[in-house]
Structure 1
Amino acid sequence: MQNTHPISLSQLTFSWQDGTEVFTELSTIFAAGRTGLVGPNGTGKTALLRLIATELTPSSGTVVTTSSIAYLPQKLTLHTQQSVTDLLGLSAKRRALADVLAGREERMSENLELIGDDWDLEERAVALLAGYGLPAMGTEFLDRTVGTLSGGEAMIAALAGLELGARPITLLDEPTNNLDRTARERLYQAVERWRGTLVVATHDRALLERVDAIAELRPVRNRAWTGERVQLLRHGGNWDSYTEALESERESAQRMVRDAGARLATEKRQRIEAETKIARRAKQGRKAASGMPAILANERRKHAEQSAGKARGTMGERESEAALALADAKDALPSETRIRIALPDTGVPSGRTVLDAPASLVSLGQLYDGGTHLEHDARLSLRGPERVTLSGPNGVGKTTLLNALAVNASVPVGYLRQRIAAGVDDWEGLEDTLSVLENVRAAAPHAVLSDVREQLARFHFRGELVNQPVGELSGGERFRVALARILLAQPAPQLLILDEPTNNLDLASVEQLLSALGDYQGALIVSSHDEAFLELLAPEREWQLRRGAAAATNS
């Protein structure tokens, strides 16, 4: 029978070179339309996209696609020598256009065929990039290299290239990471009108609201943190439909745990009652046997012991089955992911100066505080436990400003830096060879060991897991170590600076970050394009960086 699905996976098995198993006999299909691919960090979302794009080869099984594929990976910033033209996929056409316009006769017919009707491709490309919010003022922007762009600008250029190319099957891996508000809105609009098959791995809830189906990679046992085989579950509908289904699933799992617990309690009670009856009958039998002939008494005792042993065996089996059913029900129950932690030392009195820095620290754009333009001789100030967002387009200098503010703070600072630099894919300060406990104690060397272990338990590191090397942890676990290292540091951070903290985080990790920040009592500056995250964080003020030309227009 001919395959009618754009993407089909059959008995797919794949492991990394070090032997780490990712997929075992995974079978599924991706239908035409828009599918959001979700799941905890480390379950293999990127690996699955790379297998579909033929960048990886499965150990066994097959990947069948019906059309050509366009694939946009996460790590564009690693290819620093690529040009914007390369990202747009226009290199060959631009060379052909240049040759034709220069009057070069060699390969003229081939060049004309390649150009087709796209004589204005450069102008259209510049207009498309400008529509995404990039500072593309002319065709010279097309010659810039990725190394001269911010992470967000490089992603925008690549996304624009996919929109121009319009392949039948498109795969996107975390496309909204590092995108500013304008670029995200443009991407959302592109997804809404997408034709063909789109599979997008993302934790962006606003983007997931715009898909037709959700495909979830989930460990076979929900309560397992690592080392579990994953399954792919399909949910019809967008993010709202998916979360409703998850809530129903959670309620059902909780009901199963309650029912299994009640059954186990009943079996235990019945076993105890049966043991009591057996003991009572044995006592009565011994009393009756005292007046019987020895042969008859021994026969009755033997029969009673056999009957009691059989009853004990039956009751024991039923109790064991109930205990196994309870364990299975607990395994099906989604794990508690929230972080609840006491951080009293991070508190700041309402009148205390946390930050008082000159606005001249802004080196690229122009800064606004609540809509009011700040001149270079103005002051950037924070007092008490204020929460401020720093917004602005890609490449305007937000990270540069945050770095300067961290140095000028009047209180201890905890800084969770953005992970977009070339070759960097981890949280600052983590040492792979050190354990979870050792990494955290490095930031709090004088802390009492038992206190640190107790606090780490609130970050879901319990028992021997605190002694596991960080290099062996999943992405979500590494994030929790990095967060614990900052929040449990000595002295305690009374100003927390977060630079795009939700980039590359799965949804469970975002919830953990929000729950931990709910217990944080100090001041906070956060730069993020994640509108859903910012809404839940509920900041009180907004600093806005604008490009020079935009600032002059809007002032």
Structure 2
Amino acid sequence: MLTLHNLTYLHPNRELLLDDLYLTVNKHEKIALVGNNGSGKSTLLRIIAGELQPAAGQVKTGSLPYLVPQIFGQYNHLTIAGALRVDRRLHALQEILTGNVSEENLALLNDDWTIEERIDQALHHWQLPDLDLSQKLGTLSGGQKTKVFLAGITIHQPELILLDEPSNHLDSAGRQLLYDFIKNTGKTLVVVSHDRQLLQLVNLVCELDKGGISVYGGNYDFYLQQKESEREALNRDIQNREKALRKAEEKERETSERQQKLDARGRKKQEKAGVARIMINTLRNNAENSTSRLKSVDTEKIEGISQELNELRSARPDLDRMKFGFDHAALHKGKVLFAATEVNAGYGAPLWKENLTFQITSGERIAIRGTNGSGKTTLLRIILGTAEPLTGTVFRAESRTVYIDQDYSLINPCLNVYAQAQHVNTSALQEHEVKVRLSRFLFTKDDWDKPCHALSGGEKMRLALCCLTISSEAPDMIVLDEPTNNLDLQNIEILTAAIHEYRGTLLVVSHDEVFLRQVEADRILSLSPR
């Protein structure tokens, strides 16, 4: 169904992104393509779809692929019919029905007399009833845009389907529809996703990195088991190399000390025997040359082991190389930070079916859930004090709250990495201390001058977490708004580990069920719109 042979791709600036890739996907297989942000997953899907041309190699497909793209506003200018690729066919049908039965219109329609019914059925299935097909895609929410492209699968019935982060903007109900489709379809699927619930539904996981594509049989759980085995093997290799380095350094030290003792003993004997000074100097030079040769051999061995050790350490996953160092929140557990009494929101009319009465106490971990459009972000703004309710009363205790949204907008795009860290340095850390904190979050010397607007989602997340450790006080409450949407699997793991280490109040909006379980949300606040 799909074969990649010797596939290579260069960026327009001639920078190498994909090099000599090989992959075979059999008919009816469902595979996931995973890898760090920037590894080229989305680019590879676009090459398979025919939207980009490789610099070398071949892509062979048994049928025309259908791509559900990652949504970030690039299709806003299209109509819904244009995004579904049915606009010309629908126009031809309308022309024919009004009497313009031309050969061109008949060719465009291609005997597809049920196209309107199939579009209606597809949009209804994906929870998009009553859409105007001439409406611009830019007027829809992110979740609705994704559903439009998913509806195209139902309309066109392709045999090879490419899905690029399809669950990113979907709420829980939309995700369940997607999961059901993936579980039940007999089509061939290639899925790029960091949604771990979705990844359990595939039968093959392929990891893309600089070394090529590594194939792991089984679903995501099996992939994790294999990665853990690799991690354990790597840690054993690191420990063995560390042990070998200690032995080599110890041997070098012993050899040097032994040689020094032999040289000293030899000099004393020579002086007692009355050996001429010129001969003593010659013997001393010979001894020093011998010592230098021995030391050179030991030094070369140590340098070789050190280089191997550095290479092994650099191959460790980012999480294994990170140190968080979060301070605990200063507030005592159980203090009321926020209270809402009969609260509702909206513009003229109430947003929620029922008024909300609840409170947030220090130390709690609360998940806010609801469908797209249910007012989750509105509620967050009320809690944060950037908006007031339409009805009801609220109480906000004086506390230090940090809001982290999916775009990590607390990072100033006009600053570089080091300047951003200094911007939050309210505890007057010395320059070298700030740089040590940056290094803990994997920002090396080469990264310090990097502009923040050029950072990936994962890098922004790490910098935001780093800033929390630099600031003078740990936040009393961290508010996370869809924090995993733009993160790869490794950075989700880093975020989850950081949240585990944080001891304070957590408020999180997320459709990622696995993330909510892992951060151990102990209370659910559900919103129901009118």
1:153–1:103 Cα change, 3 Å:
same
**1:430 alignment counterpart:** 411
Q: 1:298 & 1:492 partners in 2: Cα distance? A: 67
AA paired with 1:402? L
The 1:135/1:298 distance shift into structure 2, 3 A limit, reads closer
- AA paired with 2:335? G
The verdict on how the C-alpha distance between 1:349 and 1:311 changes in structure 2, with shifts beyond 3 A counting, is closer
SS in 2 for 1:188: helix
Q: Distance in 2 between matches of 1:214 and 1:446?
A: 45
Of 349, 370, 377 in structure 2, the residue corresponding to residue 399 of structure 1 is: 377
2:317 partner SS: coil
1:199 paired to 2:190: yes
1:169 corresponds to which of 152, 160, 173: 160
Structure 1 distance, partners of 2:18, 2:118, is 45
- Which residue pairs with 2:392 in the alignment? none
Superimposed CA distance per residue, residues 133-155 of structure 1 (whole angstroms, 9 cap, x where no aligned partner): x251x4x4544432232101110
Query: How many correspondences in the alignment?
Result: 511
Q: 2:70 is matched by which residue type in structure 1?
A: Q
Retained in 2: the 8 A contact 1:348–1:521?
Answer: no
CA–CA separation in structure 1 for the residues paired with 2:275 and 2:436: 67
Q: 1:7 to 1:547 in 2, by over 3 A?
A: farther
| Alpha-carbon shift at residue 264 of structure 1 (Å) | 1.7
Determine the C-alpha separation between the residues in 2 that align with 1:194 and 1:232.
25
Change (3 A) 1:402 1:481: same
> Closer, same or farther in 2 for the Cα pair 1:359/1:122, shift >3 Å?
farther
Q: Does the Cα contact within 8 Å between 1:218 and 1:231 map onto a contact in 2?
A: yes
Letter paired with 2:373? G
Question: In structure 1, what is the Cα distance between the partners aligned to 2:147 and 2:380?
Answer: 23
For 1:25, which of 2, 5, 19 is the aligned residue? 19
Query: Could you tell me how far apart the structure 1 residues matched to 2:420 and 2:203 are?
Result: 42
The amino acid that maps onto 1:511 is E
Deviations 1:39-88 (A, max 9, x none): 22222222222333343344x32242234222222135332243333333
Per the alignment, do residues 341 and 266 of structure 1 end up closer, same or farther by CA in structure 2, a change over 3 Å counting? closer
Q: Shift in Å at residue 204 of structure 1?
A: 0.8
- 8 Å CA contact retained: 2:7, 2:58: no
Structure 2, gaps ≥5 residues long? 389-394
Q: Give, in whole Å, the separation in 1 of the partners of 2:337 and 2:256.
A: 71
Cα drift, residue 186 of structure 1: 1.7
- Does residue 1:340 correspond to 2:336, yes or no? no
Correspondences of 1:509-548 after superposition (within 5 Å): 509-548=491-530
The structural deviation recorded for 1:214 is 1.9
How far does residue 296 in structure 1 lie from its aligned partner after superposition?
A: 7.8
The match for 1:61 is 56
Equivalence for 1:385: 363
Residue identity in the other structure for 2:303: S
How large is the RMSD of aligned CA atoms in angstroms?
3.3
Q: SS where residue 75 of structure 1 aligns?
A: coil
Shift, 1:31, TM fit: 1.7
Q: 1:317 is matched with which residue: 284, 300, 316? A: 300
Question: Does the 8 Å CA contact 1:342/1:519 hold for their aligned counterparts?
Answer: yes
The match for 2:39 among 37, 43, 59 is 43
Cα distance between partner residues in 2 of 1:6 and 1:365: 52
- 2:133 corresponds to 1:149: no
246-255 or 44-53, larger mean C-alpha shift? 44-53
- Equivalent residues in 2 for 1:345-364 (5 A)? 345=329, 347=331, 349-356=333-340, 358-362=342-346
Change (3 A) 1:493 1:328: closer
SS, match of residue 73 in structure 2: helix
Moved more, 286-295 or 158-167: 286-295
Contact 1:391 1:543 in 2 (8 A): yes
Cα shift at 1:172: 1.9
Superimposed CA distance per residue, residues 221-241 of structure 1 (whole angstroms, 9 cap, x where no aligned partner): xxxxxxxxx643222222111
CA contact (8 A) 2:426 2:471 kept: no
Going from structure 1 to structure 2, the CA distance change for 1:543 and 1:338 (only over 3 Å counts) comes to farther
Are the counterparts in 2 of residues 80 and 147 from structure 1 also a CA contact under 8 Å?
A: yes
Name the CA distance, whole Å, in 1 between partners of 2:405 and 2:192.
23
Q: TM-score, normalised by structure 1?
A: 0.81
**Contact 1:390 1:544 survives alignment (8 Å):** yes
Q: CA deviation at 1:260?
A: 1.1
What amino acid is aligned across from residue 399 of structure 1 in structure 2?
A: T
State how far apart, in whole Å, the 2-side matches of 1:157 and 1:98 are. 22
Post-superposition CA distance 1:270-297 (Å, at most 9, x none): 2222223322332333344343765987
> How far apart are the structure 1 equivalents of 2:327 and 2:280?
72
Matched, 1:244 2:225: yes
Percent identity, please.
29
Give the match's secondary structure for 1:200.
Answer: strand
8 Å CA contact 1:97–1:115 kept in 2: the answer is no
Partner of 1:128: 122
Matches within 5 A, 1:434-513: 434-442=415-423, 444=424, 446-450=426-430, 455-461=437-443, 465-485=447-467, 493-513=475-495
Distance 2:108 2:304 in 1: 75
Supply the distance in 1 between the matched residues of 2:461 and 2:117 (Cα, whole angstroms): 43
Shift of 1:98: 3.0
Q: For 2:246 and 2:106, how far apart are their aligned partners in 1?
A: 80
Work out whether residues 93 and 115 of structure 1, in 8 Å CA contact, stay in contact via their aligned partners in 2.
no
CA contact (8 A) 2:425 2:470 kept: no
Instruction: Return closer, same or farther for 1:432/1:7 CA change in 2, 3 Å cut-off.
Output: farther
Structure 2 vs 1, CA of residues 104 and 22 (structure 1 numbering), >3 Å: closer, same or farther? same
Task: Give the match's secondary structure for 1:344.
Answer: coil
